Amino acid sequence: MAELNGRPVGADELQALALTNYGHFTSMRVEEGRARGLALHLARLARDCRAVFGVELDTGRVRELAARAAPAAGTAVLRVTVFDPALDIGRLGAGGRPQVLVTTRPAGDLPLPPLRVRSVRFVRDAPEIKSVGLFSSLRQRRAAQQAGFDDALFTDAGSEVSEGGTWNVGFVRDGQVLWPAARCLVGTTMELVKQVHGSVTEPVRLADLAGFEAAFATNAAIGVQAISAVDGLALPGGHPVIDLLRRKYLDLPGDRL
């Protein structure tokens, strides 16, 4: 399924997204027509549209378009991409008229196996925006996989942990959930987990990881996924706190599209 403003999208319209690749998006897991944190996804789209295009986004219309494309039964990952088919790489300063592209893809079963990640010094451009410009992040993921890991864990110049390739990272210390304080894209799943389970936020450096009981990744597609290794440091692939977070998150009923 791929619709632009509620109709089948044409190849010429997708050309701007493929060649210029300027825009932003959000992805949500839709189960039986419901999505967890729908209001957070819509707020993200509105916020990013102001940052990327300087205009307001009609989130009510976005919700209608998402509902039209979402399967009524079963599970899928639905992505809403906001971009302007009229923009090209030489005329990005023109007044943008962002359009709404809705696509769906199959969703895997949860929970997923634990991740093994490799740390890398890397900070995304404008990390607070969920932009379509994923090349640099995916390049780090590719390099990590070629080195035998599943994904990359980003740190800044001071070795402070920020986020993963396309996910947030959390840690467990003395039974308490801890989120890194470094700049990152605050994910909807991360926000929902914060709402259902108490936590703290503070700086986390690579050298601190040996003192943690466990680590986990979160995003809308994977939910809560354990991390079993960071570089050469082994971590438990399962932990009671991670299991509790996963259950609390999956128990959220979600909002009807």
Q: What is the pLDDT of residues 114-144, one digit of tens each?
A: 999 999 999 999 999 999 999 999 999 999 9
What's the distance, CA 51 to chain centroid? 18
Superfamily of domain 115-252: D-amino Acid Aminotransferase, subunit A, domain 2 (3.20.10.10)
Q: What is residue 114's predicted lDDT score, i.e. its pLDDT?
A: 98
Q: Would you kindly state where each structural domain of the chain is located, as residue ranges?
A: 2-106, 115-252
Predicted pLDDT of residue 1:
84
Angle at 94 between CA 90 and CA 100, to 5 degrees: 100
Contact 127, 155 (CB under 8 A): no
Give ∠ CA 80-90-43 in degrees, rounded to 5: 25
Quote the CA–CA distance of 59 and 65 in Å, as a whole number.
10
**Nearest residue to 38 via CA among 207, 248, 249, 192:** 192
CA distances from residue 16 to 79, 91, 120, 133, 212 in whole angstroms, order as listed: 17, 12, 31, 13, 45
Check whether domain 2-106 has CATH 3.40.50.720, yes or no: no
Which pLDDT belongs to residue 95?
A: 66
Give CA 33 to chain center in angstroms: 20
- Say if strands 2-4 and 7-8 run parallel, antiparallel, or are unpaired: antiparallel
Q: In what order do the strands lie in the sheet with 2-4?
A: 7-8, 2-4, 99-106, 75-83, 23-31, 34-35, 255-256
Q: Which pLDDT score, from 0 to 100, does residue 88 have?
A: 83
Q: Please say whether the beta carbons of 120 and 161 come within 8 A.
A: no
Q: What's the whole-number mean pLDDT along residues 14-32?
A: 94
Is the four-CA dihedral 204, 168, 183, 199 of positive or negative sign? Answer: negative
Q: Using an 8 Å Cβ cutoff, are 133 and 21 in contact?
A: yes
The H or E element containing residue 62 is helix 59-69
Same CATH topology for 2-106 and 115-252?
no
pLDDT in tens, 40-83: 999 999 999 999 999 999 999 999 999 999 998 999 999 999 99
108 in Cβ contact with 49 (< 8 Å): no
